[in-house]
């Protein structure tokens, strides 16, 4: 079954066309890494898949549904915004979101995820005193606590130190083994390809290249050729 099925999807904001005729299918349990220069449309594609935007043209089905309200609970989005409350503690933030999702034992769920992302010792601290990397880890826990089937990750390794980035990569690999579907937008070729079977490149709002996982050198060579042509 296709978890994501985009057919010639376009997205415009006023007169600005951000995505142009993008067709992409992501199967259940598959990992796809999306590469592209800034402004290529990566974040917009993920926001469409998160049902935050509606396509301007084409069709987008998620889990076989075109009604956003039918699938939102099955989706987890990690974006540039953390969607965390700075004056609440880490535990309070996660427990709040656990209650929104109607999860049993919100505090216990919050504590379990804090340990899993390496923030157990900082559970009672307000988010406003967190470093950017700590906030990113907490935002990841917020993304995952309701056990979404589709994970949409926008630059998930951003602002993480090496140890935290390795922890995140290991966590994402374990989620893949559990059968979760991942669509990750990143500039980090090594880490992106470590958790994905397939790679695609967006450029100028179009999907210009895709290849199976295992061809990291090819992905980077094509990426350099595309961005080098633009610079010229």
Q: Chain-wide mean pLDDT for the chain?
A: 92
- Residue 134's nearest CA partner among 126, 183, 75 is 126
102: left (phi over 0), alpha (psi -120 to 50) or beta: left
Burial, 50: exposed, middle or buried (Cβ in 10 Å; 0-12, 13-18, 19+)? buried
- pTM for this entry: 0.92
Q: 180 near 3, Cβ under 8 Å?
A: no
Give the pLDDT score at 231.
Answer: 40
Share of the chain above pLDDT 90, in %: 78
Torsions phi, psi for 61 (to 5 deg): -115, 135
Give the pLDDT score at 21.
Answer: 97
- Flag whether pLDDT at 161 surpasses 90: no
- Reported as a single tens digit per residue, the pLDDT across 80-100 is 889 999 999 999 999 999 999
- Reported as a single tens digit per residue, the pLDDT across 30-66 is 999 999 999 999 999 999 999 999 999 999 999 999 9
Give the pLDDT score at 227.
Answer: 78
Give the pLDDT score at 224.
Answer: 86
Domains parsed from the chain with CATH numbers: 2-83+151-231 (3.40.50.300)
Residue 75 tokens, joined: 């989706």
């Amino acid at each position: 079954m296709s978890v994501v099925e985009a057919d010639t999807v376009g997205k415009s904001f006023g007169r600005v066309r951000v995505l142009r005729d993008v067709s992409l299918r992501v199967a259940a349990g598959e990992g796809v890494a999306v590469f592209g220069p800034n402004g290529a449309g990566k974040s917009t594609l993920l926001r469409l898949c998160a049902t935050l935007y509606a396509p301007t043209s084409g069709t987008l089905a998620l889990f076989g549904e075109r009604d956003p309200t039918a699938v939102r609970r099955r989706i987890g989005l990690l974006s540039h915004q953390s969607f965390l409350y700075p004056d609440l503690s880490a535990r309070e933030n996660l427990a709040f979101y656990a209650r929104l999702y109607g999860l049993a034992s919100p505090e216990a769920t919050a504590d379990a995820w804090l340990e899993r992302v390496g923030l157990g010792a900082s559970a009672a601290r307000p988010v406003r005193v967190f470093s950017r990397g700590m906030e990113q880890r907490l935002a990841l826990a917020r993304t995952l606590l309701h056990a979404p089937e589709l994970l949409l990750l926008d630059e998930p390794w951003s602002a993480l130190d090496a140890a935290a980035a390795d922890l995140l990569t290991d966590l994402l690999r374990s989620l893949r083994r559990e059968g979760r579907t991942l669509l990750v937008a990143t500039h980090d070729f090594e880490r992106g390809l470590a958790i994905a079977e397939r790679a695609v490149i967006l450029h100028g709002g179009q999907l210009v290249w895709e290849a199976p996982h295992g061809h990291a050198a090819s992905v980077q060579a094509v990426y350099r050729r595309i961005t080098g042509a633009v610079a010229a």
